Amino acid sequence: MNNIQIDWERIKLLPVIAQDFESREVLMLAFMNEEAYNLTLQTKFAHYFSRSKQRIWKKGETSGNTQSVKEIFLDCDSDTLLLKVEQKGAACHTGNKTCFFKNILLPKSPQIKAENVPNYDTIDKLYHTIQERK
């Protein structure tokens, strides 16, 4: 691990952007406190701090729609994180693939429900099956 430090005395809640590792689509915005950050580093699964429930939660703890963390970046001011994740299922609690589906500037684009979006297409599944059996 590198020597990048977050000033948790100054920043109590750190905004976190979750981005799909492969498609680069922005999935959601959440917050982490120091405990959620450390749990994420230890487990490699996204943990956040719920401002409404005032507790730590693992993404997908009830829905099963987990976020496996592949990369973590800290912005230039050291006050925002970017998690590049492998999203299992929907990222949004509404069932949408991403939380950012309300287009307010351009003509409305279609909403994509997670159940209509395959995790992998057939070729990808075959490729991963072959790799696992090697």
User: What is the pTM assigned to this prediction?
Assistant: 0.75
Residue 98 counted as domain residue: yes
Closest CA to 81 of 43, 113, 41, 128: 41
Residue 18 counted as domain residue: yes
Q: 59 or 129: whose pLDDT is higher?
A: 59
- What is the tens place of the pLDDT at every residue in 61-97? 999 999 999 999 999 999 999 999 999 999 999 999 9
Instruction: Report the CATH number that the domain containing residue 96 is assigned in CATH.
Output: 3.10.20.810
Owning domain of residue 107: 14-133
In which element (H, E) is residue 42 found?
Answer: helix 34-43
Query: CA-to-CA distance for 32 and 62, rounded, in angstroms?
Result: 19
Residue 2 counted as domain residue: no
Q: How many domains does the chain have?
A: 1
Is a pLDDT exceeding 70 seen at residue 27? yes
